[in-house]
Amino acid sequence: MIYQSTRNNNEKVNSARAVVKGIADDGGLYMLSDFSALNFDYKSILELSTMETAEKVLGALLDDFSDEEMHLMVESAYRGRFETDELTPVVKVGDNFVLELFRGPTSAFKDVALSMLPRLMTKGREKLGINKDTVILTATSGDTGKAALEGFHDVDGIRIIVFYPNGGVSAVQKAQMVTQEGNNVCVCAVNGNFDDAQTGVKNAFAAFKKSGCDKVELSSANSINIGRLAPQVVYYFTAYASLVKSGEISVGDEINFVVPTGNFGDILAGYFAKSMGLPVNKLICASNANNVLTDFINTGVYDRRREFFKTLSPSMDILVSSNLERLLYLLSDGNSEEVAGYMKELSEKGCYKVSDTILKRLQETFIAAYCDDAVTLQTIKEVYDRDGYLCDTHTAVAFRAALDGKYQNKTVVLSTASPYKFPVAVLTALGVTPDQNEFRVMDQIEQLTGVAIPKNLSGLEQKAVLHKDVIEKDELTDYVMKKVAEEKW
Ligand SMILES: *Cc1c(COP(=O)(O)O)cnc(C)c1O
């Protein structure tokens, strides 16, 4: 399979190279131009287990890896590391279905992809004959950092540094990161906000390139990497198979998915699945008050020049959704000049308008919806009171869209976090005053609802703090250069 840059069809690489490089030299994202060429038959996975389905779907998308290699990678990424070997179970809640993506080692949906990415990178490096270490730099607003640490710890040939905003993540998220074990991991607080950390990381990449240092390669674990997107395609297939197995639908019936959306990776994976032949009717893009995607899907105008809101669903607080670029590439039939033009307008003017053809094709599949924090909290309470199902703030945003949409087709809501990842908001929604200490709030929720605290979160308060570094935002590049120079961490 040949992957091309969304900004230049002449930049072509194979799938192993696309995973190892992460982003194309021209700033574009690696993409297939035609999914029908994969000849994937969704009916062939309906009887398979989740892990077998993962092997098939990933093997189709990333065909430089042999069946045997993919089998071993899937096993080591997932077997025994999730709460259930089904990995991402589907639960019926009222008239809708919830696809639980948070049953992984850090109770975040990013576990699904970040368990697999390190294996793909290591195997990819081996295939390409790369011997030097890769150092992964990640800035996190909370969830990605821990999921990446968990995925990359103790992986040979790869080291990882995670930067988080000092005081800008929840107590639980901080505890998850600073207690991370492993001899190849490093976690550092930055005095500043998430944007400062992210800008610092971008600057460190640039400074590293300029320095000519060739001791290691730098790479990133964020969702522009095709190796992070591909594992997310799998659960659209398994969710469909699950509805067939439980008799809710017949083979061939089209279903909807509602996706709580930030960087547009998760929902794009749904579009990949549809493009590979899965019977999907609508993909509903659910946003919080940062509703730039809602406006885009309704009008064809993407305009980032607007107020940024900090919401109760922070993983969706995003004004530039990187993976949208890949959708534009597909909807323009692989017209990289057109896509490069839109991206140039976005960076220079903060705004672009897509062609009528793209808008029409976009609206054939995508529907947009959004809600604010007050409605998010109401929805948590409504779903809990009526159906006895406890969901987190991000899932609630999607649930609202499913309830309001009153769709004819069976509709699956993607649930992206455990309610225990955002305990203060969840308890508040249920009408109880939360304790000052976030760990006590988890106990309050458990007592009130009987929903068990995930094991990985319950013991955190007692675990030893292993990472105490704190730096100023303008020290980030120096910190990276110093760490890169060290033989052992
Ligand atoms: C990352 C994340 C999202 C958004 O997913 P995208 O792929 O960036 O659209 C939604 N919910 C939670 C809890 C997340 O961590």
Cα 368 to Cα 209, 211, 298, 299, distances in angstroms? 40, 44, 7, 11
Residue of 267, 287, 316 with the most ligand 1 atoms within 8 Å of its CB, for mutation: 316
Domain region containing 365: 90-105+227-454
pLDDT (mean) for 112-140: 93
Tokens of 341: 């033009």
Mean pLDDT score of the chain, rounded to an integer?
Answer: 95
CA of 483 to the centre of ligand 1 (A): 29
Whether 470 is covered by a domain: the verdict is no
The model's confidence at residue 224, banded by pLDDT at 50, 70 and 90, is: confident
Asked whether residue 348 carries a pLDDT value surpassing 90, the answer given is: yes
Is pLDDT at 205 greater than 90 in this prediction?
Answer: no
In the predicted model, what is the mean pLDDT of residues 374-398?
A: 98
Q: What percent of the chain has pLDDT over 90?
A: 82
Chain-centre distance for alpha carbon 190: 23
Is residue 159 a part of any domain in this protein? no
**Residue 223 pLDDT > 90:** no
Question: Does residue 292 carry a pLDDT above 90?
Answer: yes
What residues contact residue 414 under an 8 Å CB cut-off, 6+ apart? 99, 101, 109, 257, 258, 259, 260, 266, 395, 398
Instruction: Report pLDDT for 193.
Output: 85
Question: Would 264 be classed as within a structural domain?
Answer: yes
- Is 300 a domain residue? yes
Q: Which residues pair with 185 in a beta bridge?
A: 160
- Does a structural domain hold residue 437? yes
Q: Any idea what the CATH number is for the domain that residue 414 is in?
A: 3.40.50.1100
Task: Tell me which of 94-103, 134-143, 259-268 is least confident.
Answer: 134-143
Of 98-112, 122-136, 195-209, 304-318, which range is least confident? 195-209
**Which ligand 1 atom sits nearest the alpha carbon of residue 143?**
15
Whether residue 318 is predicted with pLDDT greater than 80 in this model: the reply is yes
Number of domains the chain contains? 1
Around ligand 1, the residues with Cβ closer than 6 Å are 108-110, 143, 223, 260-266, 315-316, 394, 416-417
Residue 222: pLDDT above 80?
no
Atom of ligand 1 nearest to the CA of 263: 8
Q: Which of 263, 291, 321, 422 to mutate to test the pocket of ligand 1 (most atoms within 8 A of CB)?
A: 263
**Candidate from 144, 315, 319 with most ligand 1 atoms within 8 A of CB, to mutate:** 315
Nearby residues of 121 by Cβ (< 8 Å), 6 or more positions away: 19, 20, 134, 158, 219, 227
The answer as to whether 248 is a domain residue is yes
pLDDT band for position 141 (cuts 50, 70, 90): confident
CA of 303 to the centre of ligand 1 (A): 20
Please say whether the beta carbons of 427 and 290 come within 8 A.
no
Distance 261 CA to ligand 1 centre (A): 6
Question: Which residue has the CA at smallest separation from atom 2 of ligand 1?
Answer: 315
Choose the residue to mutate in 103, 109, 324 for probing ligand 1, maximizing ligand atoms within 8 Å of C-beta: 109
447 within domain boundaries: yes
Q: Establish if 391 belongs to a structural domain.
A: yes
Sign of the torsion formed by the C-alpha atoms of 129, 135, 139 and 143: positive
pLDDT at 199 > cutoff 90: no
Distance 434 CA to ligand 1 centre (A): 25
